[in-house]
């Protein structure tokens, strides 16, 4: 039996393929390579010392999915494939609904057709929007502030309805802020164009690809005035997917949403300080206006993940920045180098 991983050559997908392999699973990677590199597939294969199966295909194509479900003996699916840039989703919302909601719906239909019942879905803390209370629990109100966040919420609703009507068990994993890289430095985040997220931007400044970091807002009501997020190591996140698959059909039936975060908040300044320690030199930066749409603080209540999945993050902020830096230093131009 095998696990199908859609979006396998992306940032979180690649780390999860390695973790699934280490959990003794047979993995089938599936990706249309629209936002990721075939070199990521090669790097995964080198890391696991195995010719892990890779199929180039699109989750929005029922034919591509039928082909992969027919060719391999798949009994579980982890679905990462989708678009994830908030700014892009505002400029081109229909692409987000087509790819994210359309792709998820077509994948769920294919699973039902092929009698595959275990699904782990890549959701986001973006479904919460501006939090009313902190830390944010799964029971918090859901009012995403971007088309990206709304597309993820719609996917969650599609899957909850599908799990009511069909023999499907689904875990919706709401990620907080994944950062870091595999400690080998051979796979990591390789953003397309100018990085929108904090740590990729910091690291591109450190490696000389960008001049300086802009800190978006220093007048928030936080101890140092910069915004606070729940950063978690991508390998902890990958381990969360293994725990989620292990729980499906056992502790978890039907459809459940679970936060994956550390439960700790760090400010932009704290992340920058940690990065400067890891890099060993000052990283040029300036204070600028707040970024529209940003919230002051967002961090997870991670109790449910511990209780339901037996999962909790183990890696520190220093581990995250050290591993992210090792990847960036070794691959200054990402997979393109
Ligand atoms: C963003 C998305 C979120 C998505 C997540 C992961 C928004 C509003 N939210 O989260 O939906 O799930 O990425 O892809 O965009 N910062 C700077 N300078 C920079 C970049 C970021 O100061 O150059 C600050 C931001 O203002 C924020 C923090 O760093 O306070 C983290 O930003 P980012 O990495 O973009 O993550 P989120 O905004 O939390």
Task: Tell me if residue 148 is catalytic.
Answer: yes
| Alpha carbon of 169 to ligand 1 centroid (Å) | 31
> Do residues 180 and 324 touch, judged by C-beta distance below 8 A?
yes
Backbone torsions φ then ψ of 261, nearest 5 degrees:
-155, 175
Chain centroid to CA 90: 20
Enumerate residues 6+ apart whose C-beta is below 8 A from 300: 125, 135, 136, 174, 176, 230, 259, 260, 261, 262, 263
Does the C-beta of 253 come closer than 6 Å to ligand 1? no
Output the six-digit token pair for 257.
């949403």
**Candidate of 131, 148, 209, 291 to mutate for ligand 1, largest count of ligand atoms within 8 Å of Cβ:** 291
What is the enclosing helix (H) or strand (E) of 45? helix 38-48
Question: 163, 323, 290: which is closest to 220 by C-alpha?
Answer: 290
Give the global pTM: 0.97
Which residue lies with its CA nearest to atom 25 of ligand 1? 216
310 conformational bin, left if phi > 0, alpha if psi -120 to 50, beta if neither: left
> Do residues 300 and 226 touch, judged by C-beta distance below 8 A?
no
**Candidate of 153, 294, 296, 321 to mutate for ligand 1, largest count of ligand atoms within 8 Å of Cβ:** 294
What is the enclosing helix (H) or strand (E) of 259? strand 255-260
Q: Kindly give the confidence (pLDDT) of every residue in the chain, 337 residues in length, as a single tens digit, with 9 standing for 90 and above.
A: 999 999 999 999 999 999 999 999 999 999 999 999 999 999 999 999 999 999 999 999 999 999 999 999 999 999 999 999 998 999 999 999 999 999 999 999 999 999 999 999 999 999 999 899 999 999 999 999 999 999 999 999 999 999 999 999 999 999 999 999 999 999 999 998 899 999 999 999 999 999 999 999 999 999 999 999 999 999 999 999 999 999 998 999 999 999 999 999 999 999 999 999 999 999 999 999 999 888 999 999 999 999 999 999 999 999 999 999 999 999 999 998 5
So where are the chain's domains?
2-180+231-262
Model confidence pLDDT, tens digit, residues 42-58? 999 999 999 999 999 99
> Do residues 126 and 144 touch, judged by C-beta distance below 8 A?
yes
Q: For the CA atoms of 303, 305, 306, 308, what is the dihedral angle to 10 degrees?
A: 110
| Alpha carbon of 294 to ligand 1 centroid (Å) | 7
Model confidence pLDDT, tens digit, residues 196-247? 999 999 999 999 999 999 999 999 999 999 999 999 999 999 999 999 999 9
| Residues paired with residue 56 on neighbouring β-strands, in sequence order | 31
For residue 6, the 8-state DSSP code is E
Residue where the block lists tokens 């082909």: 67
> Do residues 95 and 83 touch, judged by C-beta distance below 8 A?
yes
The per-type count for the chain, helices as H runs and strands as E runs, is 12, 14
Ligand 1 atom at shortest distance from the alpha carbon of 216: 22
Mean pLDDT of the chain: 97
**How many Cβ atoms sit within 10 Å of the Cβ of residue 322?**
19
> Rounded to whole angstroms, how far apart are CA atoms 112 and 115?
5
Using alpha carbons, list the distances in angstroms from residue 181 to 185, 235, 307, 326, 328. Answer: 7, 7, 26, 8, 9
| Alpha carbon of 182 to ligand 1 centroid (Å) | 21
Q: What three-state secondary structure class fits 24?
A: coil
CATH architecture of 2-180+231-262: 3-Layer(aba) Sandwich (3.40)
């Amino acid at each position: 039996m095998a696990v199908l991983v859609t979006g396998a050559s992306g940032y979180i997908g690649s780390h999860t393929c390695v973790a699934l392999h280490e959990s003794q699973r047979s993995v089938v990677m599936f990706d249309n390579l629209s936002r990721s590199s075939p070199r990521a597939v090669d790097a995964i294969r080198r890391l696991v010392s195995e010719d892990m199966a890779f199929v180039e295909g699109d989750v929005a194509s029922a034919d591509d999915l039928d082909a992969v479900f027919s060719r391999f003996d798949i009994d579980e699916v982890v679905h990462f494939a989708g678009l994830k840039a908030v700014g892009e989703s505002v400029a081109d919302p229909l692409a987000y609904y087509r790819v994210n909601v359309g792709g998820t719906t077509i994948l769920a239909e294919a699973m039902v057709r092929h009698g595959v019942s275990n699904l782990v879905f890549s959701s986001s803390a973006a479904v919460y929007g501006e939090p009313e209370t902190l830390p944010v629990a799964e029971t918090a109100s859901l009012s995403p502030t971007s088309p990206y966040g709304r597309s993820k919420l719609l996917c969650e609703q599609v899957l909850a309805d599908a799990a009511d009507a069909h023999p499907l068990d689904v875990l919706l994993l709401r990620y907080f802020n994944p950062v870091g890289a595999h400690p080998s430095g051979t796979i990591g985040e390789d953003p397309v164009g100018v990085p929108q997220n904090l740590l990729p931007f910091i690291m591109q400044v450190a490696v000389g690809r960008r001049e300086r970091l802009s800190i978006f807002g220093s007048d928030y009501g936080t101890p140092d005035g910069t915004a606070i997020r729940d950063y978690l190591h991508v390998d902890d996140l990958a381990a969360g997917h293994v725990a989620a698959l292990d729980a499906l059909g056992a502790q978890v039936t039907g459809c459940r949403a679970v936060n994956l975060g550390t439960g700790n908040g760090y400010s932009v300044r704290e992340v920058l300080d940690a990065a400067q320690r890891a890099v060993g030199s000052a990283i040029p930066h300036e204070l600028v206006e707040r970024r529209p749409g940003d919230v002051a603080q967002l961090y997870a209540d991670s109790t449910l993940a511990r209780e339901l999945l037996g999962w909790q993050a183990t890696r520190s902020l220093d581990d995250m920045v050290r591993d992210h830096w090792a990847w960036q230093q070794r691959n200054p131009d990402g997979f393109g180098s």
